Amino acid sequence: MTRSATLSRALVVCFLLLCTGCVRHVESHSILINVGSSIDEKLEIARSIATPARLDLLRQEIKARVPGVTDAQLQGLDLRAARSVFKGFDGSSSESVTVTVVVQHDGKFAPEPMIQAAVAILDAEISGR
């Protein structure tokens, strides 16, 4: 094998090793906002939850509830507020508002306990409004 072929093969192997380390997994769970008398009020509630300050507090609450969760794992946690419009083939439509708990991770741990804890915490908070 020539030196050029050996070098090319080595570069391909290095590239593949680097790329496999870059794969990110995303897990999520959406919580339907049922409180509030209008879509705008529900959206206001969702937006008040999906804030950087609430996310920081949620990370602390999860750390207290989930044994062994690390700060690095919690950095993959995010909250998103969304308004969705569903249109039927018959022309009907409906709207809903959700808060979505998102965990981005490298696949080296199971994020389900984090998600379950976050959903339990936020469900209680939303129901208590």
pLDDT along the chain (129 residues), means of 10: 53 51 83 94 96 97 95 96 94 95 91 96 90
Sign of CA dihedral 47, 48, 51, 55: negative
- 115 with 31: CB under 8 angstroms? no
**In angstroms, how far apart are the furthest CA atoms of the chain?**
74
Burial class (CB in 10 A: 0-12, 13-18, 19+), 104: middle
Q: Which domains does the chain have, with CATH numbers?
A: 24-127 (3.30.300)
Bridge partner residues of 87 (DSSP): 93
Query: Residue 6 is encoded by which pair of tokens?
Result: 């050996």
So what's the pLDDT on residue 15? Answer: 54
So what's the pLDDT on residue 65? Answer: 96
So what's the pLDDT on residue 7? Answer: 47
Q: Which residues contact 127 (CB under 8 A, 6 or more apart)?
A: 35
Closest CA to 74 of 87, 84, 64: 64
Which strands, in side-by-side order, build the sheet including 93-105? Answer: 25-32, 93-105, 77-87
